[in-house]
Amino acid sequence: MKGNWFNQSLLATALLIPAYLAIGFFDRNYQVKSDVFLVWYFLGAAITSAFFGAPSLRSLVSSPGITCIMLLIGLTVGGIANILLFRAVASAPNPGLPVAITNTASIGVFLAAALFSRWAPNYFSSAKIDVSALLGVVLTMIGISLIAKH
């Protein structure tokens, strides 16, 4: 899907709303625990990504070493983070709270991208940083503080 990053982000947000709501729905109505939902959800996401997101199925394996590193990242960091998130969504007083908290990872990504683009420009793309973006980060930090008091 071609398009600009902002429109893609808005569409992804709209599509994630029912996905996050489904976690608690399946738990309460069909006794499907969040960990089981997670497995089937990401299997479906992986199949869709392979067939509709990749330029070709051959492009999914760039080299054995790089493929193993990407798989290892998914098996560790991605797997653990998503297990914790899905469990939190299922048990939170409002499923939006854990999602809001984990979305503050964007602050870390924003700041790390700025640092890495300067420290290791051969490995990381340049990152745009300006006053309005930094203000957005500060407002996000204030918002997470308000959620934490809930």
pLDDT tens digits, the chain, 150 residues: what are they?
566 888 998 899 999 999 999 999 999 999 999 999 999 999 999 999 988 888 887 788 878 899 999 999 999 999 999 999 999 999 999 998 899 889 889 889 988 999 999 999 999 999 888 889 889 888 988 888 887 776
**Its pTM surpasses 0.85:** no
**Helix, strand, coil % over all residues of the chain, rounded to 5:** 80, 0, 20
* Cα within 13 Å of Cα(142), Cβ side: 6
Asked if residues 103 and 143 have their Cβ atoms less than 8 Å apart, the reply is: no
Residues 100, 107: Cα–Cα separation, whole Å: 12
